[in-house]
Amino acid sequence: MKYKTLKGLQDILPPEIAVWHHVENISRDIFKNYGYQEIRLPIMEATDVFIRSIGETSDIVEKEMYTFQDKGSRSVTLRPEGTASFVRAYVEHHLYNNPAPQKFYYMGPMFRYERPQAFRYRQFYQIGAEAMGIDDPKLDAEIISMISAILKSIGLEGLNFEITSIGCKKCRPDYRTALKNFFSGKLDRFCSDCQRRYDANPLRILDCKVPSCIESRKGSPPVLDYLCGECKEHLDRLRSYLGLLKVQHTVNPNLVRGLDYYTKTAFEVSSENLGSQSAVAAGGRYDSMVEEFGGPPTSGIGFAMGMERIIPLIKNSAGGTDGPDLLFCPMGDKASEKAFLLTEQLRAKGLWVEMNLEDTSLRSQMRKANRIRAQHIIVIGEDELKNNKVVLKNMTSKEEIAAAIEIKELLKIISDRK
Ligand code: ATP
Ligand code: MG
């Protein structure tokens, strides 16, 4: 019987996993410097959590969710993104009672039923962050600068930061009307999804990927022309703070996000080296969502970056080349027992130690030492036990060091050479 991963899902194996750890560790370090704490959320939620926030007419909700009935006939959904689950938790645990800004980060798998292709999977991993309770654009600039710090620290180059504003509750109705006026005479040129969107949510027409819709919406009113004074000022101040922090960026008035909950700032970071799936990170403000989830009026801003698009951009991403600090090669039962004990004792002292568990020839043990890239080896047999002395061989320098069979001494020799 042969089993395979489901379409659009993948196993992540060593040594590539070392690159994932590298990205996760850098992100954790930088999150810490910016005051973000980890939050771990379930990978399933009640389906409504996503419908209410991401939006009924969004592609994610309409086409991409893994939704099913559990055994109690509840509709549950594997999370397609992190922010909706986060806001559910933020409100459920009254986290808004803590001093603002409250800052959180998360790492984990997301699920979207999309057509699998390069850099696009059905289970993919995001690292994301959310900052709550401050509506000053300094926070927007800070979070964008933090993304830049993380991606730079990982060593990525050729990134473009694009920002825009998509207005707020106050100015969106005017923009919606302007869009409807623009589309009204030519609705027959749009796909049936867009015709439905016209009434439900005309902004979504701007996000349609159907080529004839892309063509027919050319010349539609630009969102930036419809921003209210507050949204305009927010964007201007964000730009000036980004200038101050030297975060290179452009304003892209055509940037549309696939989620309904955004207000004011929206942004995307793309790479020149990924072809058509070029977005490596994206995010924005969501100043109404907490209230819509039953909490007090609280602004929020967040982003998520896609691991499967970041990992292939890392140069020299082989990773994990070093083998164990020490390999014991015992000859005979007594020596094997002694090595078995020493292995455990040295592991407890923080070394990576392996031993040959099976009784094999010295030659095959040496072959194994090379194959697993052991840094040091110790051959231990009857004589060594009798004299309480071993020779520790450094496999790189070929240096041979005589040592007593004694934890402290072995530990020191290896630590000095690490
Ligand atoms: P795209 O335009 O590529 O579909 P998106 O706008 O749907 O992206 P977001 O919801 O903003 O993506 O998610 C943030 C990031 O998560 C993206 O920038 C991308 O790096 C990553 N991402 C989203 N969907 C996928 C997927 N199916 N496979 C791999 N990564 C993904
Ligand atoms: Mg998408």
Distance CA 184, CA 179 (A): 8
Relative to the alpha carbon of 258, which ligand is closest? 1
With beta carbons less than 8 A apart as the criterion, state whether 85 and 42 touch.
yes
Question: What is the reported pLDDT for 217?
Answer: 94
Please tell me the predicted confidence (pLDDT) of residue 322: 78
- Closest Cα to atom 12 of ligand 1: 282
Atom of ligand 1 nearest to the CA of 306: 20
Asked: is 16-171+227-314 a CATH 2.40.30.10 domain? The reply is: no
Protein residue closest via CA to atom 7 of ligand 1: 258
Atom of ligand 1 nearest to the CA of 80: 10
pLDDT at 408: 96
Burial label for 333, CB within 10 Å (0-12, 13-18, 19+), is exposed
Using most ligand atoms within 8 A of CB, pick from 126, 127, 259, 271 the residue to mutate for ligand 1.
126
Going from N- to C-terminal start, the domains of the chain cover: 16-171+227-314, 326-416
pLDDT on residue 321: 66
For every one of its 418 residues, what pLDDT tens digit does the chain have, with 9 covering 90 and above? 799 999 999 999 998 999 999 999 999 999 999 999 999 999 999 999 999 999 998 999 999 999 999 999 999 999 999 999 999 999 999 999 999 999 999 999 999 999 999 999 999 999 999 999 999 999 999 999 999 999 999 999 999 999 999 999 999 999 999 999 999 989 999 999 999 999 999 999 998 989 999 999 999 999 999 999 999 999 999 999 999 999 999 999 989 888 889 999 999 999 999 888 899 999 999 999 999 999 999 999 999 999 999 999 997 555 556 799 999 999 999 999 999 999 999 999 999 999 999 989 999 999 999 999 999 999 999 999 999 999 999 999 999 999 999 999 999 999 998 8
Report which bound ligand comes closest to the CA of 124. 1
What is the three-class DSSP state of 38? strand
Kindly report the three-state secondary structure assignment for every residue of 239-294.
HHHHHHCCCCCEECCCCCCCCCCCEEEEEEEEECCCCCCCEEEEEEECCCHHHHCC
Ligand nearest to the CA of 54: 1
Pocket of ligand 1 (CB under 6 A): 81, 112, 114, 119-121, 124, 126, 258, 277, 279-282, 304-306, 308-309
* pLDDT score of 1: 78
State how far the alpha carbon of 375 is from the alpha carbons of 16, 127, 237, 346, in Å. 21, 34, 55, 15
- CA 87 to ligand 2 centroid distance, Å: 20
Cα–ligand 1 centroid distance for 114 (angstroms):
10
pTM, 2 dp: 0.93
Distance 382 CA to ligand 1 centre (A): 61
Count Cβ atoms below 10 Å from residue 39 Cβ, excluding itself: 19
Atom 25 in ligand 1: residue holding the nearest Cα = 120
pLDDT attached to residue 242: 98
DSSP for residue 63: I
Query: For residue 276, what are its two tokens?
Result: 């058509």
Under CATH, what is the fold of the domain 326-416? Rossmann fold (3.40.50)
Pocket test for ligand 1, best of 305, 307, 311 (most atoms within 8 A of CB): 305
